[in-house]
Amino acid sequence: MQQNVVVLDNGGGLIKAGLGGDRDPSTIIPNCLYRPLSSKKWLHPSPSSDPIDLTSAAVRRPIDRGYLINPDLQRDIWAHVFSSILHTHHVGPAHSALLLTEPLFALPSVQRATDELVFEDFNFAALYVADSPSLTHLYEASRRPTGLISRAQCSLVVDCGFSFTHAAPVFQNFTLNYAAKRIDLGGKALTNYLKELVSYRSVNVMDETFLMDDVKEKLCFVSMDVTRDLRIAKKSGKENLLRCTYVLPDGVAHTKGFVKDADEAQRYTALDEGDDQSQKPGTSMDWDQAHVTEKIEERKKTDLTKNEFDLTNERFLVPEMIFHPADLGMNQAGLAECIVRAVSSCHPHLQPLLYQSIVLTGGSTLFPRFTQRLERELRPLVPDDFQVKITSQEDPILGVWRGGSLLASSPDFEGMCVTKAEYEELGSARCRRRFFH
């Protein structure tokens, strides 16, 4: 009998879950519990039918810095997820296999706790643990069977997710973990940084995780020229192509915030269209005091009287961290150097192929101009005779899950799993060796 395979991409931010063989996951929910102001209880995120007001809601997450550290909380959330996926199929976990994603370099204690959850709490019949780079590679290779990634059987996967960012080479469907490199920054830190900037400068949003996620997703972008954009951000009136306004929820007419003027928010895109006409740096640097003073006065006025705030340079200073963590005081290299270090750790024959097969995945790669900026920073660091080609995934949030769904429906899948009986006989550590090469 062909088993059900539940495919679970267990992200620190979002859970993507569904049945193997499907094109898309049937459930996408935040991997957390909320406690809204109106409630004493911790609630499961509701799928959409009944949106709850998340203003100032507290959050509990089972995942810390990318890894599952709170199995009790994760059990709660998974039970909720599995009941909605498996419910309609009238089969329980005992008759299903689980394909679960886990970040690279999970500690043995984390792996043990995960295996206990899967086999002892949920009684799954079998388990396969996959990492996101190999699933991303699999999906991209299958989409273009004649493309380079598929022919050379290798790619360099950059996964910029919720908890951290990895650059990891994949060769013949296996992640070369000796060459993988990590930056300790992801979407969560970016949202927190945006909260900090906005709270410092206009209105206190330190408790507004969900609101600020929305602001980040709708208004942040990657700058192609930070010095120029800082200068533009200081201009007043219509000349400031970067300024835009976000309206806070009022709790009555609207429980969610929104971008006040969508056209205004898009004006920045004019900046890099005619790239050659751009001003030479240093020609009109006006760091003068008057402007700054005026701007702060202006902001104070808006903040106190209206239920909204302006953003200017925050829009690009936030994603900028991925490219220059040192600006924050972190002693870590940025994304371009991270990629170079990962590639340089591989066999010299692989290196030119990897630079031509860079794949971007993860929600934090969705910032407008992420790819262009990365290419601009990477090119000077790569030998001249190597090509650089960066592909962004069609859907960087679902790409890993789709790879998992493909793998789960392949004829080899069953043989790759560890069964419950094997787990009971061998224990977690020995079973885990099976998933690595």
Partner 1 sequence: MDDDASNPLRRVSSRTRKVASKMVAALASTDNRTQAALARLEALENDNAGIETVEPNDEDDDSLDEDDQVYMQKKQSKSMKRKTRQAKALEARKAPKTFLELLHEANLESLPSHVPSYLKASVGPPISTSRRHFCTVCGSAAKYTCVRCGIRFCSCRCQNIHNDTRCLKFVA
Residues 231-250 that bind partner 1 (CB under 8 A): 233-234
The pair phi, psi for residue 5, each rounded to 5°, is -120, 120
Report in angstroms how near the CB of residue 166 gets to partner 1 at its nearest: 8
Residues 260-279 that bind partner 1 (CB under 8 A): none
Q: How far is CA 49 from the centre of its chain?
A: 25
112 binds partner 1 (CB under 8 A): no
Residue from 330, 382, 388, 416 that binds partner 1 (CB under 8 A)?
330
Listing DSSP states for 176-196 in one string gives -TTT-EEES--HHHHHHHHHH
What distances in angstroms separate CA 100 from CA 129, 237, 259, one per listed residue? 5, 51, 36
Q: Which is nearer to partner 1, 262 or 292 (CB)?
A: 292
Give me the count of residues in the chain.
437
Selected binder of partner 1 within 153, 173, 177, 371 (CB under 8 A): 177
**Segment near partner 1 (CB under 8 A), from 78-86, 130-138, 205-213, 361-369?**
205-213
- The verdict on 10 binding partner 1 (CB under 8 A) reads no
Q: Among 31, 55, 134, 312, indicate the residue that binds partner 1 (CB under 8 A).
A: 312
Q: Smaller CB distance to partner 1: residue 4 or 428? A: 428
Contact flag: residue 132 with partner 1 (CB under 8 A): no
The CB-of-429 to partner 1 minimum distance in angstroms stands at: 13
Instruction: Establish if 183 lies at the interface with partner 1 (CB under 8 A).
Output: yes
**Please, is 345 exposed, middle or buried when counting C-beta atoms within 10 Å of its C-beta (0-12, 13-18, 19+)?**
middle
Q: Evaluate the CA torsion angle 380, 381, 386, 389 in order and state its sign.
A: negative
338 binds partner 1 (CB under 8 A): yes
- Give the residue from 181, 174, 179 showing the smallest Cα distance to 435: 174
Our finding on whether 221 is near partner 1 (CB under 8 A) is no
State which residue, 96 or 136, has the beta carbon closest to partner 1: 136
Output the smallest distance, CB 98 to partner 1, in A. Answer: 22
216 touches partner 1 (CB under 8 A): no
Q: Please report how close the Cβ of residue 296 comes to partner 1 at its closest, in angstroms.
A: 7
The residue among 183 and 259 lying less far from partner 1, judged by its C-beta, is 183
Minimum Å distance from CB 76 to partner 1?
A: 8
349 belongs to the binding site for partner 1 (CB under 8 A): no
Minimum CB separation of residue 269 from partner 1 in Å reads: 20
Task: List the structure tokens of 105.
Answer: 């370099």
Cβ partners under 8 Å of residue 72, min gap 6: none
**Least distance CB 346 / partner 1 (angstroms):** 13
Beta strand pairing status for 14-19 and 126-130? unpaired
Q: Does 59 bind partner 1 (CB under 8 A)?
A: yes
CA dist., res. 400 & res. 16, Å (int): 9
For partner 1, which is the closer residue by CB, 219 or 406? 219
Nearest partner of 130 among 401, 430, 422, judged by Cα? 401
Return d(Cα 226, Cα 209) in angstroms, integer. Answer: 26
By CB under 8 A, tell whether 73 contacts partner 1. yes
| Ramachandran region, residue 237 (left: φ > 0; alpha: ψ -120 to 50; beta: rest) | left
Euclidean distance between CA atoms 249 and 145, whole angstroms: 47
- E runs forming strands in 11-57: 14-19, 27-30, 33-35
d(C-alpha 301, C-alpha 223), whole Å: 28
Least CB distance from residue 68 to partner 1, whole Å? 9
Contact flag: residue 105 with partner 1 (CB under 8 A): yes
Q: How many residues bind partner 1 (CB under 8 A)?
A: 73
Nearer to partner 1, 59 or 416 (CB): 59
Nearest to 202 by CA among 301, 79, 316: 301
Contact 336, 155 (CB under 8 A): no
- Work out how close the CB of 164 gets to partner 1 at its nearest, in angstroms, rounded to a whole number: 10
Determine if 180 is a binding residue for partner 1 (CB under 8 A): yes
**74 vs 356, beta carbon nearer partner 1:** 74
Q: Which of 91, 328, 421, 429 is the binder for partner 1 (CB under 8 A)?
A: 328
Task: Enter the tokens of residue 134.
Answer: 């190999």
- Residue 82 burial (CB count, 10 A): 20
User: What's the farthest any 2 CA atoms get from each other in the chain?
Assistant: 76
Among residues 121, 196, 298, 377, the one that binds partner 1 under rule CB under 8 A: 196
Residue numbers 279-308 binding partner 1 by CB under 8 A: 287, 289, 292-293, 295-296
